[in-house]
Amino acid sequence: MHPPRELSPSLAPAPWQRAALGANLLAPDGSLGVTIFEEMTGLALRTGAINLGQGFPDEDGPLEIREAARAAISAGANQYAPGKGLPQLREAVAAHQERFYGLTINPDTEVIVTTGATEGIAAALLAFAGPGDEVLTFEPFYDSYGAVIGLAGATHVTAPLLAPDFQPDMAALEAAFSERTRVVLLNNPHNPTGAVFPRSVLQRVVDLARKHGSIIITDEVYEHLTFGVSHLPVACLPGAAERTITISSAGKTFSLTGWKIGWLSGPAELVAAARTVKQFLTYSSGTPFQAAIAAGLALPDAFYTGIAADLEHKRNILRQGLAAAGFDVFSPQGTYFINVDTAPLGIEDSVDLARRLPALVGVAAIPVPVFCHPEGAARTRSLLRFAFCKRTEVLEEAAERLATLSGRL
């Protein structure tokens, strides 16, 4: 009998964890700690604060979609779906792309269903990027991007988005490309900034990707949540279709984030490569939920315009409270998120304020520097992100609380 192995009292982080997540996941002794999201959620629970940190709705999605899931369960759709997804959902995704964007895709060879957009991104990145490659994103960037790029062994290169409109510095974007740029991972509409990129920016990304032989992976989960502007898929642009994988999901559109049903589409050879990886991640995703989302994608146009209008109203409620607090407020054109600058209040360290805010006024937020590498963290040091995908009465209460902030500092 072998003696029990001795375990180190402090788990040392793997190299990819240090490279991808840096100080945001490391405890003071260099061991693995908790993310800022877990920390802020814990603070909100302990103080009774309204949690506007994490981006998930506090209301369920459309009843007809939920009823469709119940019906699918009752009908016996409870075993593995095909690895590439139920045919009716792949067909519904293809119909959605044609209906909204005029994109014609083959549901049999150019679509796969994934366990949320996060798995789709992971499968695509792991399929195409590896040691010696570079993956380019805008910065700030959604936190899972850095982690998966690190898992792939690739190098994460960033191009900055600049306040107040969080559009890229085009010279910096061009300089960020190199002969090693294997993948451009583009999030539009953009989390955490709320920016929606215009055609000119997207076309420049496509042109640079063509020049350098790069694949484009687009994360478009907020495609239907834009305010006063229209979403333009990268795959629609000249020169993009043959090199672009488009990823979206049901979670944000239908307020069903817990179902984790996403999809990935693009040229058959690129989709096949991503599918090869996906089958060793989860193989298959929730069967009854896939059937229900297929029905949901066929909802009338009024549903899609309605969810955007409702979310814009909620954005405006929170924006007023943030302005009353004394922040410099950057109004987003899309997503669930609104960003502010704490500098007008004489506060340059948003991480410190985020840790104090739940006790000060009973609201929790996320500091933007955690979505950046060290240089970007310094540039965004005074920025905070708030989520407004909550019930109207919750946002009204949060706005009232925030309006008292300057008197409590």
Q: How far apart are the C-alpha atoms of 64 and 298, rounded to whole Å?
A: 11
pLDDT tens per residue across all 409 residues of the chain? 444 334 334 445 555 455 444 445 434 444 445 678 889 999 999 999 999 998 889 999 999 999 999 999 999 999 999 999 999 999 999 999 999 999 999 999 999 999 999 999 999 999 999 999 999 999 999 989 999 999 999 999 999 999 999 999 999 999 999 999 999 999 999 999 999 999 999 999 999 999 999 999 999 999 999 999 999 999 999 999 999 999 999 999 999 999 999 999 999 999 999 999 999 999 999 999 999 999 999 999 999 999 999 999 999 999 999 999 999 999 999 999 999 999 999 999 999 999 999 999 999 999 999 999 999 999 999 999 999 999 999 999 999 999 999 889 8
364, 394 contact by CB (below 8 A)? no
DSSP state of 224: T
Phi-psi sector, 22: left (phi>0), alpha (psi -120 to 50), beta: left
Please, which residues bridge with residue 222 across strands?
none
Phi-psi sector, 343: left (phi>0), alpha (psi -120 to 50), beta: alpha
Q: What pLDDT does 26 receive?
A: 39
pTM for this structure? Answer: 0.92
117, 165 contact by CB (below 8 A)? no
The domain spans of the chain are 34-60+303-407, 88-279
Please, which residues bridge with residue 113 across strands?
263
Indicate if 88-279 has the same CATH topology as 34-60+303-407.
no
Would you give the distance in Å from CA 157 to the centre of its chain? 18
Measured on CA atoms in the order 71, 74, 78, 82, is the torsion positive or negative?
negative
Q: How far apart are the C-alpha atoms of 181 and 135, rounded to whole Å?
A: 6
Q: Do you know the residue count of the chain?
A: 409
> 88-279 in CATH: which number?
3.40.640.10
Q: How far apart are the C-alpha atoms of 358 and 386, rounded to whole Å?
A: 13
Q: How far apart are the C-alpha atoms of 302 and 285, rounded to whole Å?
A: 29
- Domain 34-60+303-407 bears CATH identifier 3.90.1150.10: yes
Q: What pLDDT does 3 receive?
A: 40
Instruction: List CB contacts of 353: < 8 A, sequence separation 6 or more.
Output: 342, 347, 367, 384
Q: For the chain, how far is it from start to end, CA to CA, in angstroms? A: 62
Task: Decide: residue 323, CB within 10 A, 0-12 exposed, 13-18 middle, 19+ buried.
Answer: middle
